[in-house]
């Protein structure tokens, strides 16, 4: 077992450079299936979800070459199967993008339903609704999603009933090589959706409207190779902004797009944190006690659900009672029991959490229930008194590149410790 051991109450000071966006990378890599030729992708984050996605493509016959630690070349010209390897693909959520990309290029896909973080039912009905409108049949059988369009993919008008990041990207992928125009309405507008559209356009696609409520995809005959640079990770940046605020430090967070962070910046300012925007950086400083506030998660440009656990931790360190409403996922408060082990005073009722700010948390052994919950435990430990041990860190390493090194570089006392099986400090105490 591997865990993080954190000695808290060190103010973070210095500079952190943000890596490429996980949720863009895990869509752009499978999107390369649509391209005949070499896609050179830069600013790729070094995280386990990306490694798995590259392994899946290799297994399916793609040529994958790591140019350096943040650049990869992918050539899917001679991909030899439309079936994604079950064990590998079901361990990551984003494997659903293989369905849209394979459907677009080969009119057939056999892909396991998505895995990844668990926070309630994670349906794919909107993905299927889009595929059906484009002329495909969809089914789930023997642990696979089966998508087939023997007569080809034809452009269509699609109205999403739910604003879904995954469905928006998946339908965009399937429609890129379709015959005719596809109009997708009520789409998600997250920065990584715009990034996937920009990637496809740079390879020859004709997609407009990404970042608005309506995306139009004019089908093209084929895509050719090229070079593309992934945007910085909004949520990684937000996590370090919150960590800086929690510890009362001052950190320049570099390689970001400040516009993408506004939804997070606004809440931090309400809480008494200073955030100065630079061209491609934000300087975060907290010199006064944190104030309570209310947070409601919403699709972009609202406050991101993927920052909700980190925000709850920060509110534990604020003065007064705050309300957090989770309006994207049904069950994203499982980590609250872990925070209570550190002394947090939080009541959860359905989608609402009531957080009584107590000014301080105390170190304890805690688990990373999922990726962002794990990051929140790290933030809690950095600001808490005493020692916090975070277990199940494989969740965190799915989405944060070099977390320990980045935090150490700004003065955190955090180590990654291998514990021989059977000797783990567990929670009998």
- Estimate the share of the chain in helix, then strand, then coil, as percent rounded to the nearest 5: 35, 30, 40
Among 165, 231, 261, 282, indicate the residue that binds ligand EPZ (CB under 6 A): 165
Among 144, 329, 333, 400, indicate the residue that binds ligand EPZ (CB under 6 A): 329
Q: How far apart are the first and last CA of the chain?
A: 19
Residues 332-351: x where in contact with ligand EPZ by CB under 6 A, - otherwise, as a string:
--------------------
Among 127, 267, 286, 341, indicate the residue that binds ligand EPZ (CB under 6 A): 127
The pair of three-digit structure tokens given for residue 303, joined into one six-digit string: 């406050």
Among 187, 328, 380, 407, indicate the residue that binds ligand EPZ (CB under 6 A): 328
Among 19, 43, 138, 164, indicate the residue that binds ligand EPZ (CB under 6 A): 164
299 contacts: CB under 8 Å, gap ≥ 6: 163, 165, 188, 189, 190, 328
Angle of helix 371-383 versus helix 308-316 axis, rounded to 10: 20
Residues 56-95: x where in contact with ligand EPZ by CB under 6 A, - otherwise, as a string:
-------------------------------------xx-
Which CB contacts under 8 angstroms, 24+ apart, belong to 196-202? 196/24, 196/27, 196/28, 196/31, 196/169, 196/172, 197/172, 198/228, 199/28, 199/31, 199/41, 199/228, 200/31, 200/34, 200/172, 200/173, 200/176, 202/226, 202/227, 202/228
Catalytic positions: 117
Binding segment (CB under 6 A) for ligand EPZ, from list 119-127, 146-154, 224-232, 267-275:
119-127
Residues 234-263: x where in contact with ligand EPZ by CB under 6 A, - otherwise, as a string:
------------------------------
- E strand residue ranges, 114-173: 137-141, 144-148, 157-159
124 binds ligand EPZ (CB under 6 A): yes
Size of the site for ligand EPZ (CB under 6 A): 25
- E strand residue ranges, 18-61: 35-42
Contacts of ligand EPZ in 133-162 (CB under 6 A): 162
Among 12, 19, 20, 23, indicate the residue that binds ligand EPZ (CB under 6 A): 23
CB 250 within 8 A of CB 410: no
Helix ranges restricted to H, 77-157:
86-89, 96-106, 125-133
Distance CA 220, CA 18 (A): 34
Q: How far is the CB of 297 from ligand EPZ (least distance, A)?
A: 8
Question: Could you tell me which residues are beta bridge partners of residue 385?
Answer: 362
Q: How far is the CB of 315 from ligand EPZ (least distance, A)?
A: 19
130 binds ligand EPZ (CB under 6 A): no
Looking at beta carbons only, is 54 or 318 nearer to ligand EPZ?
A: 54
Contacts of ligand EPZ in 303-322 (CB under 6 A): 305-306
Among 7, 58, 122, 291, indicate the residue that binds ligand EPZ (CB under 6 A): 122
Residue of minimal Cβ distance to ligand EPZ: 166
Residues that bind ligand EPZ (CB under 6 A): 22-23, 26, 93-94, 117, 122-127, 162, 164-167, 188, 305-306, 328-329, 371-372, 399
């Amino acid at each position: 077992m591997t865990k993080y051991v954190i000695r808290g109450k060190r103010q973070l000071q210095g500079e952190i450079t943000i890596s490429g966006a996980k949720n863009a990378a895990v869509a752009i890599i499978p999107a390369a299936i649509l391209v005949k030729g070499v896609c050179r992708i830069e600013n790729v984050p070094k995280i386990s979800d990306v490694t798995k996605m590259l392994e899946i493509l290799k297994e399916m016959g793609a040529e994958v070459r790591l140019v350096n630690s943040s650049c990869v070349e992918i050539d899917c010209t001679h991909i030899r199967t439309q079936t994604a390897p079950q064990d590998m693909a079901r361990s990551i959520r984003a494997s659903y993008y293989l369905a849209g990309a394979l459907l677009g290029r080969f009119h057939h896909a056999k892909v396991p339903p998505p895995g990844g973080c668990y926070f309630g039912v994670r349906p794919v009905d909107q993905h299927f609704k889009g595929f059906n409108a484009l002329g495909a049949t969809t089914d789930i059988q023997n642990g696979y999603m089966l998508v087939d369009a023997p007569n080809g993919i034809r452009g269509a008008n699609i109205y999403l009933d739910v604003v879904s990041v995954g469905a928006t990207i998946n339908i965009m992928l399937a429609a890129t090589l379709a015959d005719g125009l596809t109009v997708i309405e009520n789409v998600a507008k997250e920065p990584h959706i715009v990034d996937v559209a920009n990637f496809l356009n740079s390879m020859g696609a004709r997609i407009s409207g990404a970042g608005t409520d309506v995306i139009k995809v004019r089908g093209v005959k084929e895509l050719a190779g090229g070079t593309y640079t992934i945007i910085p990770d909004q949520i990684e940046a937000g996590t370090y902004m919150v960590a800086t605020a929690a510890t009362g430090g001052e950190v320049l967070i570099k390689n970001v797009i400040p516009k993408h962070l506004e939804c997070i910046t606004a809440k931090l300012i309400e809480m008494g944190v200073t955030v100065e925007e630079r061209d491609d950086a934000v300087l975060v400083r907290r010199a006064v006690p944190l104030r309570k506030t209310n947070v409601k998660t919403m699709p972009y440009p609202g406050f991101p659900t993927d920052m909700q656990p980190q925000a709850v931790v920060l509110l534990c360190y604020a003065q007064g009672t705050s309300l957090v409403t989770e309006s994207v996922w049904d069950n994203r408060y499982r980590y609250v029991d872990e925070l209570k082990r550190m002394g947090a005073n939080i009541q959860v009722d359905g989608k609402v959490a009531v957080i009584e700010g107590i000014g301080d948390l105390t170190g304890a052994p805690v688990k990373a229930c999922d990726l962002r919950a794990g990051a929140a435990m790290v933030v809690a430990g950095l600001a808490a008194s005493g020692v916090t041990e975070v277990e199940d860190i494989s969740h965190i390493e799915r989405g944060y590149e070099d977390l320990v090194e980045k935090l150490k570089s700004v003065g955190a006392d955090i180590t990654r410790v291998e514990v021989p099986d059977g000797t783990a400090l567990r929670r009998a105490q």
